[in-house]
Structure 1
Amino acid sequence: MSRRPKHDPKESEREILDVAEAFLRERPFREMTVDAVMSRTGLKRPAFYVHFRDRHDLALRVVSELGLELGAMVDRWGMGADPESGKSAFRGLAEVYAKHGPVLRALSEAASSDEKVEAAYGALVQRFIDAVAKHIANDQAAGLIRADLDVEETARALVWMDERYLTQAFSKEPHPEVERVVNVLYGIWFSALYGGD
């Protein structure tokens, strides 16, 4: 009797994560079961539990992985000093949403009904709010932004606006051109923060 070749644990974990992301491109989180995911892999069901506790744990890992991609955009600032530097941040953000829009939409929807996903997704967005608030405070201290602007709430409003807009813009085909989205977001942020055009 021939034995099935052993899978490299890292390869099997990657396969499950890739399949989960592909699943969330097509279906809502509520339909993502362990069986639904594993039926799309070349692995047996027990292999799932080597890497993940349950479907919620799998969703959290997908959020975490996308968070790494999104997190790379946080430090691309330069709004007040250099328009191209500011647009670079929005371009990177829009490109991640253009690539993963349906998955981010599915995770956003899952956050409204699943406490664990809500906490992870909320933490991801909060990272952006904290980073934006820091940048706003720095530009405020430099005299580039008016002193009476509410730093925390402005950062919260702008980031959640971006999250909703980008999720809606890139969750279905056809979606707008990335550069069009970049220009819209840059215009809104620059006007809100620096009061100019």
Structure 2
Amino acid sequence: MPSITRRRTANVGRPTSAEADILAATQRLLINGANFTELGVQQICTEAGVARSTFYSHFRDKVDLLVRLAAAFTASSFDFASAWAPSDGVERLADTFLHVVKVYREHAAVRRALAEVATYDATVRDFWSAELDQFTDWTIALLRAEQEAGRAPADLDPVSATRVIVMGGERALVAHVTAEDSGSDAAFARELALTWWYGVYRRPADHSK
């Protein structure tokens, strides 16, 4: 499997206690239906049990807070996805996607806030684009390595194929965790894996590895 250098657009190291309290409080408020744009810093501080000055000692503003929340979410997704290699086969890919679905379900409120704020804030929009780029770069590298090894056809266009499965897959993940309950997660993850495996990776119908 090719070596991929991950680009991190935000610090996702272990947060301090107060920082963790603020992040957790914000996520709780979002899960409970708060609109991020209308969510005030004081409301976040009250939920977290910290002073307003404490908030600003850890975060520049609310956008910085959202980016930090989202960076932890995307780092977890990427860690699961990038642990898989084509030699692991389609069943392991289905397991990988099931883990990713669970991450998306856990952070659905944060993903919703990202979509909301990205419509008017260039920082968030650029952050999210960069986060998706790491999935894109990783997938393109995998497909090219498969071509070089003779396991994928020479006429496969890795860039176009990646655009379909990364962008399309991400939108499908959001739609799934928004509209469906967790009982259907395994079936969804398996169908996503089969789409990648037999569609993009071009494995024959009787080939699971």
Same fold (TM over 0.5): yes
Q: C-alpha separation between the residues in 2 aligned to 1:143 and 1:36?
A: 57
Q: C-alpha separation between the residues in 1 aligned to 2:161 and 2:87?
A: 16
Could you say which residue in structure 1 is the equivalent of 2:82? 75
Q: C-alpha separation between the residues in 2 aligned to 1:181 and 1:173?
A: 10
Structure 1 vs Structure 2: percent identity of aligned residues? 27
Q: C-alpha separation between the residues in 2 aligned to 1:173 and 1:134?
A: 32
Residue 180 in structure 1 maps to residue 187 in structure 2: yes
Identify if the C-alpha distance between structure 1 residues 182 and 174 changes in structure 2 by more than 3 Å, giving closer, same or farther: closer
Bigger Rg over Cα: 1
Aligned partner (choices 156, 167, 170) of residue 174 of structure 2: 167
Q: C-alpha separation between the residues in 2 aligned to 1:141 and 1:165?
A: 30
Deviating above 6 A after TM superposition, structure 1's stretches of 4 or more consecutive aligned residues are none
Identify if the C-alpha distance between structure 1 residues 137 and 74 changes in structure 2 by more than 3 Å, giving closer, same or farther: same
Residue 95 in structure 1 maps to residue 97 in structure 2: no
Structure 1: where are the runs of 5+ without partners? 1-8
CA contact (8 A) 2:81 2:97 kept: no
Query: How many residues are aligned here?
Result: 189
Could you say which residue in structure 1 is the equivalent of 2:137? 130
Q: C-alpha separation between the residues in 2 aligned to 1:29 and 1:135?
A: 36
SS at match of 1:130: helix
Q: C-alpha separation between the residues in 1 aligned to 2:148 and 2:30?
A: 43
Residue 39 in structure 1 maps to residue 17 in structure 2: no
TM-score (norm 1): 0.86
Higher relative contact order (CA 8 A, sep 6+): 2
Listed one character per residue, the Cα deviations across residues 7-33 of structure 1 (whole Å, up to 9, x for unaligned) are xx9211110011112222222322232
Q: C-alpha separation between the residues in 1 aligned to 2:60 and 2:25?
A: 16
Structure 2: where are the runs of 5+ without partners? 1-14
- Structure 1 letter corresponding to 2:58: H
Q: C-alpha separation between the residues in 1 aligned to 2:123 and 2:82?
A: 27
SS at match of 2:48: coil
Aligned partner (choices 173, 181, 196) of residue 189 of structure 1: 196
- Structure 2 letter corresponding to 1:16: I
1:56: how far off? 0.6
Moved more, 59-68 or 30-39: 30-39
- Structure 2 letter corresponding to 1:148: D
Could you say which residue in structure 1 is the equivalent of 2:24? 18
Could you say which residue in structure 2 is the equivalent of 1:3? none
Could you say which residue in structure 2 is the equivalent of 1:105? 112
CA contact (8 A) 1:94 1:182 kept: yes
- CA RMSD, Structure 1 to Structure 2 (Å): 2.0
Moved more, 35-44 or 78-87: 78-87
Identify if the C-alpha distance between structure 1 residues 162 and 56 changes in structure 2 by more than 3 Å, giving closer, same or farther: same
Q: C-alpha separation between the residues in 1 aligned to 2:129 and 2:143?
A: 21
- Structure 2 letter corresponding to 1:23: L
CA contact (8 A) 1:30 1:110 kept: yes
